[in-house]
Structure 1
């Protein structure tokens, strides 16, 4: 039960961090492209890659990995918001931007996990 509650707390901290970063980016980014969600998701993917490498090479234990990835990064990242933004772009007839956002939302986070893994391996 304690593990469950700690994951919940870490998820809440991740959600608060996402809110702060999202609000900060949106204050200066006044364009149609949803940059804040994109930045948040690629940062989460990068840190997930580092965490995966750290766990794989036993630099961190499973509990720490669980709190950070399932908890904090689970609350921080937001794929559902990205999908909703894609639909909103498509509804406003910005089809090319919606498709481009879809592609980079899938491809770039994957590459960031790979980069994060590489950084995690190089740092050990």
Structure 2
């Protein structure tokens, strides 16, 4: 049963990613892959909040798994970010590829940390 629920949550996360990605791409037509970046920033912040909530026993493990493994697993898209970096480099946009690489690694680490802090407030 857990397998099916996590799969369903993953599907919902993928649909949410598609909707957000499409919405951002409608108005953002620059080289920087903003939609993937925003999606991964949101996902890492939410993962930090969820991890803190689970660690402080605010939510049970089953809820944590449904949200983080299921929904956020379907929502976030690190592999797309890597593919976009490679595409930028192949098109000889080396500075943008390097900037995107650093932003894609550093900003989510900051976001998960901030999420943890927010999820730990009042405990």
Which bracket does the TM-score occupy, shorter chain normalised?
Answer: over 0.9
SS in 2 for 1:93: coil
Alignment partner, residue 9 of structure 1: 8
Alignment partner, residue 23 of structure 2: 24
User: How big is each residue's C-alpha offset from its partner over 1:63-90, in whole Å with a ceiling of 9 and x where there is no partner?
Assistant: 0000000000000000000000000000
SS in 2 for 1:70: helix
Alignment partner, residue 98 of structure 1: 97
User: How big is each residue's C-alpha offset from its partner over 1:43-76, in whole Å with a ceiling of 9 and x where there is no partner?
Assistant: 0000000000000000000000000000000000
Provide the rounded CA distance (Å) in 2 between the counterparts of 1:23 and 1:66. Answer: 27
Structural RMSD (CA): 0.7
Provide the rounded CA distance (Å) in 2 between the counterparts of 1:45 and 1:65. Answer: 14
User: How big is each residue's C-alpha offset from its partner over 1:7-55, in whole Å with a ceiling of 9 and x where there is no partner?
Assistant: 0000000000000000000001011110000000010000000000000
Structure 1 residue runs without a partner (length 5+): none
Provide the rounded CA distance (Å) in 2 between the counterparts of 1:116 and 1:6. Answer: 24
* Change in CA separation of 1:68 and 1:123 when aligned onto 2, cut-off 3 Å: farther
TM-score after normalising by structure 2: 0.98
Q: Name segments (4+ residues, structure 1) moved above 3 Å.
A: none
Alignment partner, residue 71 of structure 1: 70
Structure 2 residue runs without a partner (length 5+): none
Alignment partner, residue 107 of structure 1: 106
Give the superposition deviation at 1:122: 1.0
